[in-house]
């Protein structure tokens, strides 16, 4: 006789571990990033992988299988956040280039605490339904740490990591290294060709999965020099066998990145509408575009909280945000007076600028979607109020509000993200042979991606968790 495991009997506060036998998820509507759906589906899971997915005729349930009845529920692949930073907290204490408060939150202490417990972000990701992440910038430990090198396991999100950013904005390094802790500096210099060669050699030596350039708007007198160096960086990255990832939020800088062969743009173009030249370059390169629509608003809300002393109302439906970070977010008054520019007028000016940028970002996202560009979901988690895990809902809903359909957003947050990370052979879709990384929810996400706020279960590598087991509170 088959053992019937209902959702009720799974509510025992214990994860169902991947085991020698088969787990059969029966009766749900299985949805992929492709827009195709299987009603009344059967998903068989063996040894951490999907062994069969289809109808009851396609996938015969073995007699000894553990059966999980899911009639009326929806199953999707686990979410992928293709832009996170393990070496940032989600608050201003992790960004001394933005607000330096060494007496309140000494950066080396913040960094040491993050390095000591990167598991907090793994917990936040799984709790939020995120089963893979791309860490696109941080100190060496963000690549070499065991949290990033041993992630093919059910208690962690799968990680790829780029490591330190190559940038000409080296003046920002001062706030990171002035305290005598160069090991925590997230930047490599970009002021000579030899520096770039040395930087890429360093990234190769530590095992980075990409070369990331932080290409802030150059001063006019340096533009030609730096664009040429970006071209060289693209060539050297290619020789090293590493994809080139570029932070470039201006249209001119983004085009320079595309000419250099960028595989991924990690942000929207937010200063001007994209033009035909940009779209042609993007398509010719097959470059991935990560809109990160909400991170600027997160910065604004964090600055406003400090300027006014009124705490941000944390949006964390799954109760996944790390307690130590919440404690800092709800006490913004500690940072009052730490940055003279944080006046009410400054906040108003930034709010107007962010509103304009968001309108341009939405326009550009639609233009890239209409041109058939590759769009991937990324939150920039770790930046102020871009909270690890929880911010994925905010970002997906912003993509939907900008004009993408829910199915397009699901694709961007699953299979497209897996391709961007180079892990689509392992995850990103409900496909036999791939890791059993999937989510169960009561509402249909094809109607509205807010359905992901209410996930009831997360399966990572065949281990099925009730969402409440993963909550931190």
Shortest distance (Å) from residue 268 CB to Zn ion: 12
Q: Which is nearer to Zn ion, 380 or 408 (CB)?
A: 380
Q: Which is nearer to Zn ion, 107 or 299 (CB)?
A: 299
Shortest distance (Å) from residue 17 CB to Zn ion: 34
Shortest distance (Å) from residue 352 CB to Zn ion: 23
Shortest distance (Å) from residue 424 CB to Zn ion: 22
Q: Which is nearer to Zn ion, 380 or 411 (CB)?
A: 380
Shortest distance (Å) from residue 137 CB to Zn ion: 6
Q: Mind spelling out the 3-state secondary structure of the chain?
A: CCEEECHHHHCCCCCECCCCCEEEEECCEEECCCCCEECCCEEEEECCEEEEEECCCCCCCCCCCEEEECCCCEEEECEEEEEECCCCCCCHHHCCCCCCCCCCCCHHHHHHHHHHCCHHHHHHHHHCCEEEEEECCCCCHHHHCHHHHCCCCCCCCEEEECCCEEECCHHHHHHHHCCCCHHHCCEEECCCHHHHHHHHHHHHHHCCCCEEEECCCCCHHHHHHHHHHHHHHHHHHHHHCCCEEEECCCHHHHHHHHHCCCCEECCCCCCCCCCHHHHHHHHHHCCEECCCCCHHHHHHHHHHHHHHCCCCCCCCCCCCCCHHHHHHHCCHHHHCCCCCCCCHHHHHHHHHHHHHHHHHHHHHHHHHHHCCCEECCCCCECECCCCCCCHHHHHHHHHHHCCCCHHHHHHHCCHHHHHHHCCCCCCCCCCCCCECCEEEECCCCCCCHHHHHHCCEEEECCEEEEHHHHCCC
Q: Which is nearer to Zn ion, 188 or 279 (CB)?
A: 188
Shortest distance (Å) from residue 172 CB to Zn ion: 14
Q: Which is nearer to Zn ion, 66 or 380 (CB)?
A: 380
Shortest distance (Å) from residue 148 CB to Zn ion: 16
- Closest residue by beta carbon to Zn ion: 380
Q: Which is nearer to Zn ion, 380 or 395 (CB)?
A: 380
Q: Which is nearer to Zn ion, 165 or 320 (CB)?
A: 165
CA separation for the pair 426, 439 (Å, rounded): 16
Q: Which is nearer to Zn ion, 213 or 459 (CB)?
A: 213
Q: Which is nearer to Zn ion, 136 or 441 (CB)?
A: 136
Residues that bind Zn ion (CB under 5 A): 380
Shortest distance (Å) from residue 426 CB to Zn ion: 24
Shortest distance (Å) from residue 319 CB to Zn ion: 25
Where residue 210 falls (left for φ over 0; alpha for ψ -120 to 50; beta otherwise) is beta
């Amino acid at each position: 006789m088959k053992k019937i495991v209902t959702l009720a009997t799974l509510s025992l506060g214990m994860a169902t571990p991947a085991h020698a036998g088969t787990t059969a998820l029966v009766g749900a509507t299985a949805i992929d990033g492709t827009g195709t759906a299987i009603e009344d589906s059967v998903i068989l899971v063996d040894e951490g992988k999907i062994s069969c997915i289809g109808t009851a005729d396609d996938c015969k349930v073995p007699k000894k299988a553990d059966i999980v009845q899911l009639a009326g529920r929806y199953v999707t692949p686990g979410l992928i956040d293709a832009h996170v930073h393990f070496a940032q907290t989600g608050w201003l204490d992790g960004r001394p280039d933005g607000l330096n408060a060494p007496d309140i939150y000494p950066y080396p202490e913040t960094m040491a605490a993050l390095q000591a417990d990167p598991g907090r972000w793994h917990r936040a990701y799984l709790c939020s339904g995120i089963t893979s992440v791309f860490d696109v910038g941080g100190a060496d430990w963000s690549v070499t740490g065991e949290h990033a090198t041993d992630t093919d396991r059910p208690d962690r999100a799968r990680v790829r990591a780029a490591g330190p950013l190559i940038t000409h904005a080296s003046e920002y390094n001062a706030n990171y290294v002035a305290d005598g802790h160069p090991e925590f500096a997230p930047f490599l210099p970009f002021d000579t060709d030899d520096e770039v060669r040395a930087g890429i050699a360093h990234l190769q030596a530590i095992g980075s999965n990409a070369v990331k350039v932080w290409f802030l708007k150059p001063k006019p007198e340096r533009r030609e020099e730096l664009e040429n160096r970006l071209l060289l960086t693209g060539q050297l990255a290619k020789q090293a066998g590493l994809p080139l990832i570029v932070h470039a939020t201006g249209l001119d800088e983004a085009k320079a990145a595309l000419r250099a062969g960028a595989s991924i743009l990690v942000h929207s173009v937010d200063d001007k509408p994209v033009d035909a030249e940009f779209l042609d370059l993007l398509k010719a390169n097959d470059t991935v575009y990560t809109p990160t629509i909400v991170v600027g608003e997160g910065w604004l809300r964090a600055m406003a909280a400090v300027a006014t002393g009124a705490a941000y109302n944390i949006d964390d439906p799954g109760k996944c945000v790390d307690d130590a970070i919440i404690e800092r977010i709800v006490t913004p008054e500690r940072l009052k007076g730490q940055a003279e520019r944080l006046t009410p007028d400054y906040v108003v000016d930034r709010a107007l600028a962010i509103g304009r940028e968001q309108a341009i970002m939405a326009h550009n996202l639609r233009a890239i979607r209409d041109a058939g560009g590759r769009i991937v979901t990324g939150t920039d988690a770790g930046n102020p109020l871009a909270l690890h895990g929880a911010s994925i809902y905010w970002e997906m809903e912003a993509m939907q509000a900008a004009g993408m359909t829910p199915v397009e957003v699901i694709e961007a947050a699953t299979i497209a993200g897996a391709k961007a990370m180079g892990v689509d052979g392992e995850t990103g879709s409900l496909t036999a042979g791939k890791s059993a990384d999937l989510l169960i929810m009561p509402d249909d996400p094809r109607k509205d991606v807010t359905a992901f706020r209410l996930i009831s279960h997360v399966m990572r590598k065949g281990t099925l968790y009730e969402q409440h087991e993963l909550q931190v509170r």
